[in-house]
Amino acid sequence: MRIGVFGGSFDPPHIGHHALATAACDQLELDRLLLVPCARSPHKDDGPYLDGELRVRMLEAMIAGDARMEVSRRELDRPPPSYAADTLEMIAADHPGADLWLVIGGDQLPAFPRWHAIDRILARCRLAVAGRPGVDDETFGDAAAAVGAENLDLIALDPLPVSSSAVREAIAEGRDPGLMLPAGVSDLLPRP
């Protein structure tokens, strides 16, 4: 069994998340991809802006129709901060013998060596990293060297310059974030 673990704030989920999730399933030939919304990210000072239950419903709308993908409540159901090392150990215990990948966008790779307990993370899984605009080759190469090429798989992904912050900004400014959101997610978005 090949299982990917894709964590994030998903605040809200957008087409970049969907593209990365789909590319990870296709290219890593995953049987299952678990999308794990965090309770509170250790990498962000505040937030999330949207309630956890709403983010779950939005993720479910995003992945509807793709039987490989599933939303996991592993982080929402325990007190924050949501450390990936703890989550991966729980998921490994849920699926004994499975091959695990932690899926991250390329913008996260430079900081990955400073994540909490990366030795525990890399003991449980390989890292699958996609490109993202704004990450130059040198930064990417340095970080990849720090993690170790043997622990790393690359996911080819056409850059989609979209972020949850851009969606939140559009809403705050009264613009329609429509095209940044996957089908079904837009309908669930609270509008001022």
Q: What is the DSSP track for 30-51?
A: -SEEEEEE-SS-TT-SS--SS-
Considering the complex, what minimum distance in angstroms separates the CB of residue 130 from ligand ATP? 5
Considering the complex, what minimum distance in angstroms separates the CB of residue 97 from ligand ATP? 26
**Residue whose beta carbon is closest to ligand ATP:** 105
Separation of alpha carbons 117 and 175, rounded Å = 40
Considering the complex, what minimum distance in angstroms separates the CB of residue 145 from ligand ATP? 19
Query: Closer to ligand ATP at the Cβ: 96 or 166?
Result: 166
Closest CA to 175 of 184, 183, 166: 166
Separation of alpha carbons 185 and 188, rounded Å = 5
Query: Closer to ligand ATP at the Cβ: 10 or 101?
Result: 10
Q: For helices 52-63 and 15-27, give the axis angle rounded to 10 degrees.
A: 50
Query: Closer to ligand ATP at the Cβ: 160 or 188?
Result: 160
Residues that bind ligand ATP (CB under 6 A): 8-11, 16-17, 20, 104-105, 107-108, 130, 132, 160, 162-165
Separation of alpha carbons 73 and 39, rounded Å = 9
Considering the complex, what minimum distance in angstroms separates the CB of residue 78 from ligand ATP? 18
